[in-house]
Amino acid sequence: KERLMKARQRSESTPSTPLIQHRLWPEIKQVSEEQLRYALLGVEEGVWTLFAQEGEMRMYKREEEVDGMVCDPLKAVHTIRGVTAHEITHYFFHPDYRMDWEFTVDNMTVLERVSEDCIVFHQIHKRVWPATQRDSLYWSHIRQVHPPPDEGLHDSWIVCNQSTEHPEAPTSGKWLRVNLTVCMVAQTQIVPPPPEGELITRDNLQCKIIYCSVVNPGGWAPASVLRAVYKREYPRFLKRFTQYVIDQCQDKPILF
């Protein structure tokens, strides 16, 4: 118990000072807290429809249109072994690894490195025939979740991505800009706990992941193509990304 408490204390983090002083902070704080609550709500029957399932992974959607454009909210839950919540969110947030696992992106640029826990990204996405190519511009914020989680959970982390604007990447006639709100919440569990007096190894780690996304395509796209892309790409993304993190972490010391 004492060892677990110490590991948890080491990983305590609060928003960095440069971030708190940034013009985006009030929005980042509000959206991240709201997304966390939304992610933890669960998937009520009759509201969410299961559309993909593989092993521990479950993906749900709600069919919704805004001004005739498909914007189906997605919620996915997954459980993987051998990695921590911090590791999952670290690889999701950090630009160095983005192109290793993100296969919807042709080009990624860091527009502004606000702080160690917040970056503004511009991405040009792969074109889906016959639609116009899309780009996205969003802030991305990583933080540990406070207060500490319930009994049974060791720690929780969140990455929240939200569309924004930036003078260095105005909308162009070239791409249609998508509008996105995405969050990834990860929770570490120590199961099974190590025998008394022994250290935690990767065999004692389990990580629960909740991924939520709402993407407005930003302009016309055929609904049937869009829903087909959605159904194919989200499971592909979550499987590929989680396997990537497992592979990256297996020979490294545990990052709590």
Query: Which residues here bind ligand 18C, judged by CB under 6 A?
Result: 102-105, 123, 125-126, 128, 131, 134, 136, 161, 178, 180, 182, 215, 217, 221, 225-226, 229-230, 233-234, 237
- Name 243's bridge partners: none
CB of 98 to ligand 18C, least distance (A): 6
**Of the two residues 9 and 133, which places its CB atom closer to ligand 18C in the complex?**
133
DSSP SS3 for 146 = coil
Q: How far is 201 from 190, CA to CA, in rounded Å? A: 10
Q: Residue 25 CB, nearest distance to ligand 18C (Å)?
A: 20
Contact call for residues 140 and 121 (beta carbons, < 8 A): yes
Nearer to ligand 18C, 43 or 131 (CB): 131
Name residue 171's amino acid: T
Measured from the CB atom, the residue of 60 and 230 that comes closer to ligand 18C is: 230
- By beta-carbon proximity to ligand 18C, the closer residue of 136 and 204 is 136
CA–CA distance, 250 with 27 (Å, rounded to integer): 36
User: Closest distance between ligand 18C and the C-beta of residue 74, in Å?
Assistant: 8
CB of 237 to ligand 18C, least distance (A): 4
Please say whether the dihedral angle defined by the alpha carbons of residues 164, 28, 139 and 98, taken in this order, is positive or negative.
Answer: negative
Nearer to ligand 18C, 3 or 126 (CB): 126
- Is the Cβ–Cβ distance between 131 and 228 less than 8 Å? no
Question: By the 8 A CB rule, do 240 and 103 touch?
Answer: yes
Please state the closest distance from residue 148 (CB atom) to ligand 18C, in A.
26
Contact 200, 44 (CB under 8 A): no
